[in-house]
Amino acid sequence: MDMLQAETMSIQSSADVVLVRQSVRQFAVKQGFSLVDQTKIVTAASELARNTLDYGGGGTVKLEALQDGIRQGLRLTFEDEGPGIPDIELALKDGYTTGSGLGMGLSGTKRLVNEFNIVSHVGKGTCVTITKWK
Amino acid sequence: MESIPILQMGEFLLVTIQVDMHDRLAMKLQDDLTNRISQTNARGVLIDISSLDIVDSFIGRILGNIAKMSRVLDAQTVVVGMQPAVAITLVELGLSLEGIRTALNVEKGMALLRASLETAPRGSANGYASG
């Protein structure tokens, strides 16, 4: 698997969340994603960037354009050094929320992408990686 | 601070969201609209989201809040113009925008608002008859 292009962005404000959405859109267009797939990955990025900001106290996202044989994809890695998630299984349930959202963020995001991985350590932070293939 | 313009047209308020809203701007729209409904005695609110290329759970919640708040203030809300790709994504995300009335475009949205005003005289937006 080759990495064609990569970029790391900081998420420290709600304006940064907008910038993340715009960059993810650009990457998705460049990878030749359909409009529906672009919309899905941008929406997923918006949910996760907001989580990084609201629950993780800010962090970073790494955008990577991937090529695996003939398939093209986009991988996003969100990292924060916030309080972490004590019970990941619970956090992944539809309707579960500790904050101001609808509780569809994590569980819903998982449905929008092909690969979803979350690693979290209480007191150390959370890392969420999603990949969408064309 | 920047804000999204709210236009008044007779008994209705019109909002066209044309920017990629950050969260605080969306919260401000919710507050501004609620205030304007009460100031202007508006009976209906039409929100055009045809320029939005995504609706995530946060924007979905704001739209739902606006619909609920306007109902409490005796006004109806219709959201119009959602792009097909946004609708597909929204449903897969798990949001169905329950409690929010939608129409395909501004024209149909206005017709829906007018029709609902005819059948629902002032004071009945909560579902109870006024007399």
Q: Smallest Cβ distance to A43: which of B21, B24, B56?
A: B56
Angle at B50 between CA B13 and CA A96, to 5 degrees: 90
Cross-chain Cβ contact A108/B94 below 8 Å: yes
Chain B contact present for A94, CB below 8 A: yes
- ipTM comes to 0.89
Domain boundaries, chain A: 2-133
Distance between CA A71 and CA A61 in Å, rounded? 23
- Domain A2-133 annotated CATH 3.30.470.10: no
How close are the terminal C-alpha atoms of chain B, in Å? 44
Residues in chain A: 134
pLDDT for B57-108, tens place per residue?
Answer: 899 999 999 999 999 999 999 999 999 999 999 999 988 888 899 999 999 9
Note down pLDDT in tens along chain A; length 134 residues: 888 899 999 999 999 999 999 999 999 999 999 999 999 999 999 999 999 999 999 999 999 999 999 999 999 999 999 999 888 888 888 776 666 555 567 889 999 999 999 999 999 999 999 999 99
Note whether B94 contacts A40, CB cutoff 8 Å: no
Burial class of residue A133 in the structure, from the number of CB atoms within 10 Å of its CB (0-12 exposed, 13-18 middle, 19+ buried) = middle
SS3 B84: helix
CATH for B6-119 (3.40.630.30, 2.60.40.10, 3.30.9.10, 3.30.750.24): 3.30.750.24
Residue A15 makes CB contacts below 8 A (sequence gap 6+) with: B22
Domain boundaries, chain B: 6-119
